[in-house]
Amino acid sequence: MNDCQQVFLAARPEGFPKLKDFGLRKASLREPDADEILVEIEFLSVDPYMRGHMQGGIYRTMKPLEIGDTLYGGAVGRVLRSRSPLVAEGEVVEGYLGWQSHATVRADSVRKIDATLAPISTALGILGMPGMTAYFGMTEVAKPRAGETVVVSAAAGAVGSTAAQIARILGCRVVGIAGGTTKTRHLTEDLRLHAGIDYKAAPDLHEALVAACPDKIDVYFDNVGGDTYDATTRWMNYGFRYIICGSIAEYSSEEAGIGPRHLKRFEVNRARMQGFGVAEYRPRYNEGIAQMAKWLNSGELHYRESISDGLETAPNAFIEMLQGKNTGKQLVRVKTS
Ligand SMILES: NC(=O)c1ccc[n+]([C@@H]2O[C@H](COP(=O)([O-])OP(=O)(O)OC[C@H]3O[C@@H](n4cnc5c(N)ncnc54)[C@H](OP(=O)(O)O)[C@@H]3O)[C@@H](O)[C@H]2O)c1
């Protein structure tokens, strides 16, 4: 019986996660029972939500993570053995397979990937959960109209880069916020946004937004939270939508963030603030993927991946993603040979 390598939760992080919060171990491969498949994982996804998950049960749709559990996470891989009529050996599947080299799971818990559409790693990025977050978050929740001004934070990341480009494709003026000059150049040169703001260098984020958004802001697609709340809501237009996709600036903070302010502006501008989760859209992924694949093939959508090699590098890749070292989707290549 072969071994399976796993990354497990060694300790709940205090503040910013550290390498000692993770452990690496070997376990025996479990052969599939009836209706199960054994998958050899090729890529795994490193996502900000893992930070909350490491803390315990904050997500309604996920089982709370206990100390000693294998890290939960999206992954894509090839089926080595199948005892299900749903999935054949050799097929490529995506699912919450965990931070490990192999997974034995129910065949009906995975999504089959069309490996001819794009490289299979995209099933974790632009044609996967982050891409679907951007697609449904922008087209169904934010619903920007052509000519409106849309601001997106963490705009060089997996969700933000895609959400911002979708708004550009829909005919909006799009301003991205990201950290550093290389990332802000990427926003205008590769993603073709109208302007990019380097929040780390801007002396005053609000003033930078005023300069970049002469017609004020109609939609703020927020991946970050924190200081961006004040900076954007002080420059809202009538009918403003504040879409809460994520709040990464607050995930490792032990202090409570400031509550919503400037509420009078929400009243007079008939503004809306709304959170959403991609989990509810999972049954509609095929629809989103079909549209995104068209935009990818026509060259309207650009994507980047930051890839770290080897399962043992996953904890460091996760920490570095939280520090903003990634551009585009952060992945770990598990099968390196
Ligand atoms: N609602 C949903 O269903 C859903 C689904 C997926 C993801 N999300 C959320 O979407 C957001 C982006 O996720 P992702 O997977 O696409 O990650 P990502 O943007 O690829 O990576 C995270 C990025 O966040 C930025 N960041 C980190 N700390 C920051 C801080 N203190 N202030 C400002 N920016 C900071 C960094 O970019 P810079 O270098 O630019 O700082 C980093 O590259 C996260 O908040 C995540 O929780 C929500």
Per residue in 120-176, pLDDT (tens digit) is: 999 999 999 999 999 999 999 999 999 999 999 999 999 999 999 999 999 999 999
pLDDT band at 55 (very low <50, low <70, confident <90, very high): confident
pTM above 0.85, yes or no: yes
Give the separation between CA 87 and CA 107, rounded to whole angstroms: 6
CB hemisphere CA count around 34 (13 angstroms): 0
Provide the residue count of the chain. 337
> Is residue 103 over pLDDT 80?
yes
Note the pLDDT tens digit of each residue in 260-287. Answer: 888 999 999 999 999 999 999 999 999 9
Return the residue whose CA atom lies nearest to atom 2 of ligand 1.
Answer: 277
Whole-angstrom CA distances from 128 to 73, 272, 329 are 13, 28, 10
How confident is the model at residue 255, as a pLDDT? 78
How confident is the model at residue 58, as a pLDDT? 66
- Token pair 């490491």 in the structure block, residue: 54
> Could you give the angle at which helices 285-297 and 129-136 cross, rounded to 10 degrees?
90
Whole-angstrom CA distances from 231 to 212, 240, 242 are 12, 14, 12
Q: Where are the beta strands (DSSP E) in the chain?
A: 3-9, 22-28, 36-45, 75-82, 92-95, 102-106, 111-112, 149-152, 173-178, 195-198, 217-222, 236-244, 272-275, 305-309, 329-333
Say yes or no: CB of residue 186 within 6 Å of ligand 1. Answer: no
Say yes or no: CB of residue 141 within 6 Å of ligand 1. Answer: no
Return the residue whose CA atom lies nearest to atom 35 of ligand 1.
Answer: 249
